[in-house]
Amino acid sequence: MTPRSTRILIAGYQHETNTFAPSLADWTAFQTGETFPAYVRGPVMTDQLADANIPVGGFIQAARRNGWTLLPSAWAGATPSSYVTEDAFERIAAAIIDDVRAALPQGLDGIYLDLHGAAVAEHADDSEGELLGRLRALVGPDVPIVASLDLHANVTERMLHEADALVAYRTYPHVDMADTGALAAELLQRRLALGRREVLFWRRLPFLIPLNAQSTWMEPAQTLYAYLRALDDDHGAMLSFCMGFPAADFAECGAVVWGYGEQAQLAGELLYKRVAEPTQWRPDWLDAREAVEAALDLAARADKPVVLADTQDNPGAGGDSNTTGMLHALLQQHAGQRFPGQVALGLLFDPEAAQAAVAAGVGAQIDLSLGRAVPTYTGLPSDAPVQGRFTVRAVSDGRCVLKGAMMTGLTVELGASACLEIDGVLVAVVSGKMQLLDRELLRLVGITPEGMKLIVVKSSNHFRADFTPIASRVIVAKAAGPMAADPADLPWKKLPATTRRTP
């Protein structure tokens, strides 16, 4: 009798939850996806996702090289926001559980999950741990379950206990997402060959790391992740270091080091000793006015754009990309008059303004209230909308193919979009939420990023992969918004007081 091939079920659940953010992730958010592929279920999943630079894409390619038979279940992702609704989580979990149950009678050799690791549901603080637990209860102890995680996962003890192995990205901006899926396939192959779980080491850091200190394009993370890879090579381990997503109010939010292999304890302790030194994780930032002042001074002498990160309204961290603090600062300091048509801000999420601009057409002048005043972690609202007369410089249907290193080839659909000018400042206004992580998102509305003197990006770090090569300088700005640059400023309730501190 010819032996059957190895059968692996694959699925995904991606959400980064900022429990202090204003908007929930409901079922519609997962169906739409926005910055992620839309919800997909069944065999079409492999067709749509195999070539994408996301973990499941890398896993699919590695599985094909291994000759495994893939059983595609469901893949769901939604833009970072506040809690995943109970309804959305239960729909996603039920689809995956039903498909696993259906696969068991024919034989199931393993499960791979493309998880974020920082998803908090309304009824389950550790929703990935809950999903893993339900799967473990269904398949028993002998069917391997392996998952890939985002570098910002808040890894829990239950996740480590329920899964046979977990592995996380090693870059931020995340340019190694598909590579991490391939690492998950390697861990699954090791588990299948060994016939049992590998030795696990893990330790949690006793403080929170601000997002703006986490970029692997900068120190200390750049050197620390190089050290992680060297330890893997030297000790035959598979280490991960998740710096955590420091805006999810539950007991296990924060950074964790873990790894697998006979020498995982030795390698993991060496890595932990290096990453747990707190003073190296202190970032620099300026308030909105100071940031614009510094940028204007630098831009006058630079031949490349100065890039300012509007980090507290990052839609990749739970903001809605609609606050106006940085736009007010640009206008108050006459940035557009100093450099007419060479100052840009984006992406500003304001569907009503975008649709009004498209309806009016290029060249029209329209009176608008642009942006929103939204609740923030301080208890006070963000800056008021910008009231004024805007000139429509360009319009678009919002369809764009990304070309930067992070999501190369991904097609995004942002709906009605426009470039609006006010007092010499160009604002990229869109109808779908997405952080400005790719220069094509400005070209979408006729803005040439290389020709700008100042560019304000609503992003914390992901922009660095595509904007650093053209930037003369990067400045992190703290304008009022829902995502605290310093996690210690958040009104924590569930996170233990001993962990709420930052370096």
- The predicted-structure confidence for 450-474, as pLDDT tens digits, reads as follows 999 999 999 999 999 999 999 999 9
Q: Residue 286 is encoded by which pair of tokens?
A: 């300026």
Beta-carbon contacts of 108 under 8 Å, excluding residues fewer than 6 positions away, are 7, 9, 71, 100, 139, 143
Tokens of 427: 């604002």
498 is a domain residue:
no
Q: What is the residue range of 87's domain?
A: 7-281
- Per-residue burial over 82-103, b = 16 or more CB atoms within 10 Å of its CB, e = otherwise: bbbbeebbbbbbebbbebbeeb
Whether residues 308 and 245 fall in one domain: no
For the chain, how many helices (H) and strands (E)? 15, 20
Q: Could you tell me if residue 361 is left (phi over 0), alpha (psi between -120 and 50 degrees) or otherwise beta?
A: left
Q: Is there a domain that residue 492 lies in?
A: no
For residue 411, the tally of other CB atoms under 10 A from its CB is 10
pLDDT of residue 78: 95
User: 253 with 290, same domain?
Assistant: no
- Which CATH number does the domain housing residue 117 bear? 3.40.50.2300
226-to-77, 222, 281 alpha-carbon distances in Å: 29, 6, 17
- H or E segment to which residue 280 belongs: none
H helix or E strand, kind and range, residue 127: helix 127-139
To which residue do tokens 């016939």 refer?
195
Q: Which helix (H) or strand (E) holds 139?
A: helix 127-139
306 and 386 in a single domain? The answer is yes
Does 349 reside within a domain?
yes
Q: For residue 475, tell me if it sits in a domain.
A: yes
294 is a domain residue: yes
Nearest to 473 by CA among 212, 299, 286, 341: 299
∠ Cα 272 278 283 (to 5°): 125
**Same domain membership, residue 428 and residue 340:** yes
Chain Cα centroid distance, residue 147: 17
Provide the edge-to-edge strand list for the sheet that holds 69-77.
Answer: 40-41, 69-77, 7-14, 110-115, 145-149, 165-168
pLDDT on residue 33: 87
**CB-based contacts of 413, cutoff 8 Å, min separation 6:** 398, 399, 432
Which residue carries 């999950």 as its tokens?
Answer: 113
What is the count of structural domains for the chain?
2
Provide the CA 71 distance to its chain's centre, in angstroms.
27
Which segments of the chain have a pLDDT < 50?
Answer: 1
169 and 314: one domain? Answer: no
Is the whole model's pTM more than 0.75, yes or no? Answer: yes
Q: Are 414 and 439 within one domain?
A: yes
Q: Which residues contact 251 (CB under 8 A, 6 or more apart)?
A: 125, 494, 495, 496
Is-contact 128 11, C-beta < 8 A?
no
Domain assignment present for 132: yes
Q: What is the pLDDT of residue 2?
A: 52
Residue 338 and residue 254 in one domain: no
Model pLDDT for residues 200-253, shown as the tens digit of each residue? 999 999 999 999 999 999 999 999 999 999 999 999 999 999 999 999 999 999
* Structural domain contains residue 497: no
